[in-house]
Amino acid sequence: MECLLSRRTEWAWQMNSLADICRELTWGQLAAWSNKTAVIEGRKIQQKGAVNTLMKTSKGEGLLAWVEVEEPFAVLIEMEYGELFSQCSCNPIINPCEHAVAVIIEFIVHLKRNNPIPLAAPNDPRLYLV
């Protein structure tokens, strides 16, 4: 049996899928992954409904989305070697940016609502923008 306490206090990347991790993600963990400002801004962006066309990448465990703020940004979230990485066409100085955080939050909302997430084409244009 799994120890519940350790699951809550640690990021057991290696053990869990991207969906498992995101289902249990807390705001504190999201801030530790990015930073406080990115979490606050990312939450605002997600609440405005600016995260569009969320898709799963066809290769590996990842997400692709458009984040439409002043201009549309392409965001790629990938899990590699048990760690979560983000790339964004805004070319952030500090990674992960607020757009990446907004995509993670949108993904969590999809999971909670059991909304299906379509698979992106292997040549999705967003893959070439990030």
State yes or no: residue 99 binds Zn ion (CB under 5 A).
Answer: yes
CB of 14 to Zn ion, least distance (A): 27
Q: Decide whether 57 or 87 has the Cβ nearer to Zn ion.
A: 87
Pairing of strands 62-68, 51-56: antiparallel
Q: Near Zn ion by CB under 5 A, which window of 20-28, 55-63, 79-87, 98-106?
A: 98-106
DSSP for 5-61, please give it.
Answer: HHHHHS--TTTS-HHHHHHT--HHHHHHHS-HHHHHHHHHHHHTT-EEEEEE-SSSS
State yes or no: residue 51 binds Zn ion (CB under 5 A).
Answer: no
Binding residues among 59-88 for Zn ion as defined by CB under 5 A: 88
CB of 47 to Zn ion, least distance (A): 17
Single out the residue of 66, 58, 68, 54 nearest to residue 22, CA to CA. Answer: 54
CB of 3 to Zn ion, least distance (A): 36
Which residues contact Zn ion by CB under 5 A? 88, 90, 92, 97, 99
